[in-house]
Structure 1
Amino acid sequence: MLATLGTRPNNVAGKISLALLSLFIIFSALSLARPQKRNSHDERKASGIDIVIAMDISYSMEIADFNVSGRRVQRDFMSREVVKEFIKHRPNDRIGLIPFAGQPYQESPITLEHQWLLEKIDDVKPNEELTQGTAIGSAISASAIRLDKRKDTKSRIIVLITDGSNNSGNISPIQAAEAANKLGIKVYTVAIGTSDGRLQRQVNPAQEFDTETLEKIAKITNAEYFRAKTTEQLVEAFTVIDELEKTERTKQVITTFKDYHHYFTFAAALSLLGGLLVLTFHHPPAPE
C-alpha cells in the first residue's frame, strides 16, 4: 500500500493518502503506549478517639486578660485560637463542639470534617441572646450524651474550658462527672483567665474560679485539671492533653488511573479508513 504512494508523489491524492497513513502510524504508536492520567487522593481513617470541646461562652469570657505580643485579648478569642490549633493537630479524630453559658448549645456533631468545624468555632462567641450563667454540669452531661451515641470508639474525651464556677443548669458538675465516668468518658478541665479579671456588667462580680470542683471532675474521670492564667499556660494545657491522648495517624493513599488510549485508537482507525478511501477512489496509473 505504501509502495503505491510513491508512484505519483506529486499527485494530490497520493499526498493526502501518505499524510493519512502517516497519522495512522503515529496514532497507533501512541495508542500502544497506553497513555494514562493518574489521580491520587488521601483517605483518612478515624483513629477511634472521639472528642467533644465544651467551651464556655458566658459574658465573663469577654474579659481581656490574656497577653499576645504585648496586646490584650479576650478569653474567648484566646480559647478559640488554641482550640483550633488543637483540632489541626488531630486530623484523624472525630471532634465535636458544645458551647455553653447558662445552658449548653448543640453547635456541631462529632465529625471528621475539621475545616467545617474550624469555621463553626469562629462563630462561637458570647452573645446577649444566650441564657447567661455557667452551666458546667449541664455542659458535661450534654457532651457525654453526644459521645455515648458513638459505640464504635475506643476512647471518648471531653475537654471543658471555663472561667467560672457552676451557677446554672439542672445537674451538678460532680454528678455529671460521675455519670461520664460510668460511660468511660474522660473529662479534661481547663480553668482559663486571671482571678482578678472582671466585667462591669457581670451579674456576680465576686464570683471566683471553682478550682476544687474542676479538679474533682478531672480526678473522677481519670483525666487532668489545668489552670491557665497566661497564653503560654493555655497553650501548654492543650499540648499536654494532645500528648496524653495519643492518636494513630493513619493515611491511605488511593490511586486511580484513567486510560486515554482509546481516543488514539479511534483516531488511528479514522486515519487508516481515510487513507484507504483515497486509494480506493484514486488508483495510481497501472503499467500497460
Structure 2
Amino acid sequence: MPLTDFSFAQPWWLLTLLALIPIALLRNRSGSRGNITFSSLSLLASLGTTQRDLAGRFSLAFLSLCVIFSAISLARPQKQNSHTERKASGIDIILAMDVSFSMEIADFQYEGRWVQRDKISREVVKEFIKQRPNDRIGLIPFAGQPYQESPITLEHDWLLGKIDSVTPNRDLSQGTAIGSAISASAIRLDKRKDSKSRIIILLTDGSNNSGKLSPIQAAEAAKTLGIKVYTVAIGTEGGRLAGQQNPAQEFDTETLEEIARITDAEYYRAKSANDLVAAFQTIDQLEKTERTQKVVTTYEDFHHIFTALATLSLLGHILILILHRPAGPE
C-alpha cells in the first residue's frame, strides 16, 4: 500500500507535537524524589532514587507517546481511494467474424512472418476494442450459421479473452452464412432500445453460401431497425482457395458493397495487414464516441486507531504515577 495514498484531513493539529519540547527538557529530572532526605540512610535513599528515576523515564515516555498519538488522531489520517466510473457512450457494436475453414489460409504478413487470416483478424479486432472503452461491444462468430460468443458488454477484458477463442472449428456447421450473421447481430442490437447508434462490423473472406436468409434481405431488415452494417472483405489476391482460378471468386464484392450501401455504411477490401488496420481505423473515426469518465474519490479514516493508542499511553502514564508516588514523612 503506497504511502502516497495517505494524507491528513486537518494537518495543523500536528503542531501540537511542539508539546514534546518541554517534555524532553524534563527528561533529566524524571521521577519523583523523597521530600525529606535522611543522611543516615543515604545508601538506601540512593537506591530508591534509582528506582524512581526509572519509573519517571517510563512515565515521560508514555506521556510523549500520548502527545504523538493524540496529534496524529486530531490531524485525521486518511487513505484515499479513487476509482473511475465509465458511462456507456450509447454506441453499441456487434463484431460478426467469419470462422470458416478458409480463414486458416496464411496469406498475410504480420510482424515479419506469414500468419493466418483469422489470427490477423483477431489482433486487429482486439486493438479496435481497446480504442473504444466506452462502447458496448458484442461478438458473433459465424460459419455455416452464426454463434453468440459474447453478449453486448462493457466488460472488455472479458471480451478480449473471448476474441482469442474465436478460431475455425471443424465441429461447427461449415459454410459462410452472411445473411444469417447479419440477422442474428441485428436481433441482438434491437434489444438495446437506449442506444443512440447501433452498428455491425461484418468481417469475412467468402461469399454467402449458407443460411435461409439472403444478405440483401438481412441488410434491408437492419436498415429498418436503424442499424449500419460495415463490411470488410479479407484476403490477398494470391491466397485464393484451392480449385478457384479467379481470386475474385472468393468474395461476392457486389453483395458486400450493396449491404453497406443499403445500411448507410461502408465497404472495405483488406488485401494486406495494413489494409485491415486502416479499415478498422476508418470505422473508428466514422463512429467516433465522446468518452466520458467520472473519477470518484472516497476517504477511509484511521484516526480511531491513534485515539486508542493515545488513550492506552495516557493510562500507562497515570498508572506509573499511582504506583510510584513521591515518598513523604510518615
SS at match of 1:87: helix
Q: TM-score, normalised by structure 2?
A: 0.82
Q: Do the aligned partners of 1:190 and 1:225 also contact (CA within 8 Å) in 2?
A: yes
- Once the two structures are TM-superposed, the CA of residue 26 in structure 1 deviates from its matched residue by 1.1
Q: Which amino acid aligns with 1:94?
A: R
- Once the two structures are TM-superposed, the CA of residue 105 in structure 1 deviates from its matched residue by 0.5
Q: Greater CA deviation, 28-37 or 158-167?
A: 28-37
What is the identity percentage for the equivalent residue pairs of Structure 1 and Structure 2?
A: 73
SS at match of 1:102: coil
Q: Which amino acid aligns with 1:235?
A: V
Name which of 175, 180, 186 aligns with 1:138.
180
- The 5-angstrom pairing of residues 214-229 of structure 1 reads 214-229=256-271
Q: Which amino acid aligns with 2:133?
A: P
Q: Which amino acid aligns with 2:266?
A: E
More helix by share: 2
Name which of 137, 157, 169 aligns with 1:115.
157
Q: Which amino acid aligns with 2:32?
A: T
Q: Do the aligned partners of 1:54 and 1:100 also contact (CA within 8 Å) in 2?
A: yes
For the residues of structure 1 that align with 2:250 and 2:310, how far apart are their CA atoms? 83
Aligned match of 2:291: 249
- The 1:196/1:13 distance shift into structure 2, 3 A limit, reads closer
Superposed CA RMSD in Å reads 2.0
Aligned match of 2:37: none
- The 5-angstrom pairing of residues 165-184 of structure 1 reads 165-184=207-226
- Once the two structures are TM-superposed, the CA of residue 206 in structure 1 deviates from its matched residue by 9.2
- The 1:24/1:252 distance shift into structure 2, 3 A limit, reads same
Runs of 4+ in 1 over 6 A off after TM superposition: none
2:143 pairs with 1:101: yes
Aligned match of 1:56: 98
- The 1:20/1:171 distance shift into structure 2, 3 A limit, reads same
Q: TM-score, normalised by structure 1?
A: 0.93
- The 5-angstrom pairing of residues 134-213 of structure 1 reads 134-200=176-242, 207-213=249-255
For the residues of structure 2 that align with 1:225 and 1:45, how far apart are their CA atoms? 30
Relative contact order, higher structure (CA 8 A, sep 6+)? 1
SS at match of 1:139: helix
- Once the two structures are TM-superposed, the CA of residue 73 in structure 1 deviates from its matched residue by 1.3
SS at match of 2:239: coil
For the residues of structure 2 that align with 1:166 and 1:157, how far apart are their CA atoms? 20
- The 5-angstrom pairing of residues 53-92 of structure 1 reads 53-92=95-134
Structure 2 portions without partners, runs of 5+ = 1-22, 34-48
2:308 pairs with 1:266: yes
Q: Which amino acid aligns with 1:56?
A: D
Number of residue-to-residue matches in the alignment: 285
2:32 pairs with 1:7: yes
Q: Which amino acid aligns with 2:217?
A: Q
Structure 1 or 2, whichever has the larger Rg, is: 2
Post-superposition CA distance 1:225-256 (Å, at most 9, x none): 11111111111100100000011111111111
For the residues of structure 2 that align with 1:153 and 1:197, how far apart are their CA atoms? 39
